[in-house]
Structure 1
Amino acid sequence: MRIPEGPAAQNTFDWIVRGSVGDRTPRLIEGFVRAQEAGDTATWAALVREYGLSWEMLPDAAHGEVAVWDALHDSGVPQTALMRQLPRPTRLGMLPDIGGRTDEVVAQLTDPARLRAARVHPVNVLVAQRTYASGHSARSGATWAPSRKVTDALDAAFYTAFGAVKPSGKRTLLAVDVSGSMTQSISGMPISAREASAALALVQLATEPSATAVGFTSRYGARTWRESALAPLRISPRQRLDDALRVADAMPFAGTDCTLPMIYATEKRLKIDTFVVYTDNETWAGAIHPHQALAEYRRRSGIDAKLIVVGMTATGFSIADPSDSGMLDVVGFDAAVPSLITEFARGL
């Protein structure tokens, strides 16, 4: 909605503060008010078409009406809203295997241009796919019988959405925790830390012009889990997510020593702009602290490198030096984290 000016702005203010609608009140507000006052399906559907109302602008009672959702789809449901709201038309029987609005919805979900325009990150699509395929909502308790075609379309959209990712353009070393504890779900979302980290690694390997991935594994002949090392995580951006997960599962795992990526890059003489660690909640430092290892890498390489540590299920940890603007701790995980990582790497 465009921010109104002049009399329209005054009328908008009057509606917000006093609930009054004037001659210059924007049409969208007028349509919203009329929708709240209406009480029948035909009127709601007509208002959607006349004013271009979105589903959020309608009363809860309207959300359970097929005719209203037909009107919303005819007017155009935005890409991210479509992914979030798929259970509703599914429960209403609008997305059968044959007929209904299924082919139209499938075409929109997998449309590369729409995914790019909406800047939909593949991890957002993965969360939507896992939620929809599960057939139930963890938050509301609602259930539905997922459509096979829609489930498959979301799976395809995950890979198509790689083209919507804006890369940081930085030389990136991804260090991934491959331990058994990574199988726990994150932040009430229908994906595990293992799936999220593998998905992010695939995306960054596919979109960053210069990126490589390693896994936290055990040293040869190690006697404790803390005797960890890094080894190449041999996944390709051309692989499917399930294949990447199998590669990670096959690696022997050890502790997540957050100093190792900088030590590894120093020993291998790698030119790295951004170090990214993906783990659940088990982060720690070895003989030296990560900020010391990062400072040493910067000194030896001459690169003002950054370090990002993402503890996807953590409730609290401290790796970053608060006085160092090139270090970032991410505690927990949601769909905004991938963009945060990219923007921090770019220095925004």
Structure 2
Amino acid sequence: MDTSSVSMELSGSTTSNHTLNSTGGGSWEISDKAKLCRFLCYGSEGALYSTRENGHISVEKTGALQSMLQEKQGTEVLEEIKRFAQDGQAVRLEPSIFALALCSQNPDVNTKQAAFKALKDVCREPAHLFSFIKYKKELKEHMKCGIWGRALRRALSDWYNEQDAMSLAAAVTKCKQREGWSHQDLLRLSHTKPARDAIALISKYVTKGWKEVQVAHENKENAEEVIRVLSYLEVVEKVKHSRDETEVVTLIEEHKLEREQLLTEHLKFKQVWSALLKEMPLHSVVKMLGRLTSGKVLEPGSSETQFLCDRIQSETALKQAKIHPFSILLATENYKKGHGYQGKPKWEADRNILKAMDSAFYKSFMNVEPVGKCFVVAVDMSGSPSSIVPGTSISTAAAAAAIAMIFARTEADTHVLVYSEEAMVPFSISADMTLKEATDELVKFQSESRDCTVPIQWATENRKAVDVFVTLSNNPLWTLTASLVESLKKHRETSGANSKLVMCNLTYIGIAIPDTEDRGLLTISGFNLGAFSVIRNLAQDLI
């Protein structure tokens, strides 16, 4: 779909201090800063977030960012980049890394210096750092400028030198290379001079190898920090050369080694996976349930399966992982499917694991931080209830029920409505209602009307001051009996609320918002976890 057909010209501040305009319309145009924030959030300056659009980021997509840099607003740009990178507001981090790389190429000295200073705040992991260098190289070819100047060399040196030594040792052994770049490349090209002995040890390990490190530190009185790093790297090297399953398991358990530090052949051993599971991040565990079941690591009634089930539904573990209920749901449906991509591998879903995942879904609602706004979630199920949300294994009906349930249970002021033959019908989601019950009730409603102005009219007529309208549909065809913009303006005038509308089509086709200068309109095509971030950001006037 052409994003130009739904892009919107918006203006004003991106903070929450908006006021209704003097014309009485309650709309505001989009500023370059708002467009920048959209780009940092989901990789596009337009009013469309598509779950299918994860394509290559290029300079052509950053018109607002470039305009702000030309207007000497580099400091403001970098503050937004850091905010989206650090606060977890972005759907993905790549746009922020690209924007940082673009700022670092800017001819304005202050902007360039601030960009390099922000490197460690935005690129906190080696994978981020490699992406930054990749974008720098691409921009060099586009802008015909150099890469390896003094400023970049200093920034990379600072990135390595300011790391905790043990954390850096783990990082360089888990993520050795990415995007065509390696730590060896970056340390060599940046001419990094280690600031302390432990960093010098890691640098030598990366650039010269383990044998050189052993020679340099044998029969030498080493500082405590150096001794710890030496011991850790010795373990990493030992596991790399071990073919003994028992030894590998022992090293994993004693030193908390991770999957990325092992050889591929180690992952053929069931006991190795059992050892890894004890410390593996919970979000990784739930995504790998199928692989673990197909590999017989998780078998019915086994101690590994029981341990996993206990962990999955542990409130402490769920809270620590900050895992979202929609993530649990997506992983559950993938597991139920019984096979991976193109039918391989295959597995039979374990009923105890499914029971644990179901429990985790409801418990993980505690991880959803309320926005504190008034929401209306309007659901249209006039399409096929068995249709699937693209890129997932979940039906559009179950997805709609889950989305409505998440808002209803986490936002105190939420009204769920369903399109019916007669009119919008309030839909009650009680505290003890299951997702299946909610889904079964939703699909009973059928309507010929798919007019997304109807929920706005309902709120206006019922004197509800709504901050955000969210329409959910599995039908690709929308109808409009009135202007979206005019309906929204009328509600703003009547209620005094700074109302917004998010149109979500749970499929990829059929959605288009007419060209408008109203910043309160946004489209979501498909649905994934990132869509929740987009809605939250819009509700808080951040995009």
How far did 1:109 drift?
0.4
Q: Which moved more, 1:42-51 or 1:106-115?
A: 42-51
How far did 1:100 drift?
2.5
Is the CA contact 2:473–2:506 (under 8 Å) kept in the aligned structure 1?
yes
Structure 2 matches for 1:95-244, cutoff 5 A? 95-139=298-342, 141-219=344-422, 229-244=423-438
Question: Separation in 2 of the partners of 1:268 and 1:26?
Answer: 69
The equivalent of 1:226 in structure 2 is none
Structure 1 counterpart of 2:457, from 260, 263, 270: 263
Is the CA contact 1:173–1:214 (under 8 Å) kept in the aligned structure 2?
yes
2:392 is matched by which residue type in structure 1? M
SS in 1 for 2:511: coil
Gaps of 5+ in 2: 1-123, 126-158, 173-181, 189-205, 214-225
1:15 aligned onto 2:219: no
TM-superposition CA deviations, 1:90-134 (whole Å, max 9, x none):
223333332321221111100112212222111111111122122
Percent identity reads 28
Q: CA RMSD in A?
A: 3.0
Is the CA contact 1:217–1:252 (under 8 Å) kept in the aligned structure 2?
yes
Cα distance 1:198–1:27, how it changes in 2: closer, same or farther (>3 A)?
farther
How far did 1:239 drift?
0.3
1:48 is matched by which residue type in structure 2? I
Give the TM-score normalised by the residue count of structure 1: 0.85
Question: Separation in 2 of the partners of 1:60 and 1:94?
Answer: 16
1:67 aligned onto 2:271: yes
The equivalent of 1:222 in structure 2 is none
Question: Separation in 2 of the partners of 1:29 and 1:281?
Answer: 56
Is the CA contact 2:291–2:345 (under 8 Å) kept in the aligned structure 1?
no
Cα distance 1:150–1:296, how it changes in 2: closer, same or farther (>3 A)?
same
Cα distance 1:59–1:295, how it changes in 2: closer, same or farther (>3 A)?
farther
Higher-strand-fraction structure: 1
How far did 1:336 drift?
2.1
Cα distance 1:142–1:92, how it changes in 2: closer, same or farther (>3 A)?
closer
Question: Separation in 2 of the partners of 1:138 and 1:151?
Answer: 20
The equivalent of 2:472 in structure 1 is 278
Cα distance 1:6–1:127, how it changes in 2: closer, same or farther (>3 A)?
closer
TM-superposition CA deviations, 1:209-262 (whole Å, max 9, x none):
11010011223xxxxxxxxx3121233242001111121122232232111111
Gaps of 5+ in 1: 220-228
Question: Separation in 2 of the partners of 1:139 and 1:29?
Answer: 39
Q: Which moved more, 1:241-250 or 1:207-216?
A: 241-250
Cα distance 1:90–1:248, how it changes in 2: closer, same or farther (>3 A)?
same
The equivalent of 1:328 in structure 2 is 522
How far did 1:196 drift?
0.5
Aligned length: 338
Is the CA contact 2:476–2:507 (under 8 Å) kept in the aligned structure 1?
no
SS in 2 for 1:183: coil
How far did 1:59 drift?
3.9
User: Looking at CA atoms only, which structure, 1 or 2, has the larger radius of gyration?
Assistant: 2
Compare relative contact order (CA 8 Å, sep 6+) and give the higher one, 1 or 2: 2
2:446 is matched by which residue type in structure 1? P
Structure 2 counterpart of 1:5, from 161, 168, 187: 161
Question: Separation in 1 of the partners of 2:497 and 2:490?
Answer: 10
Question: Separation in 2 of the partners of 1:70 and 1:299?
Answer: 60
How far did 1:5 drift?
2.2
Is the CA contact 2:376–2:468 (under 8 Å) kept in the aligned structure 1?
yes
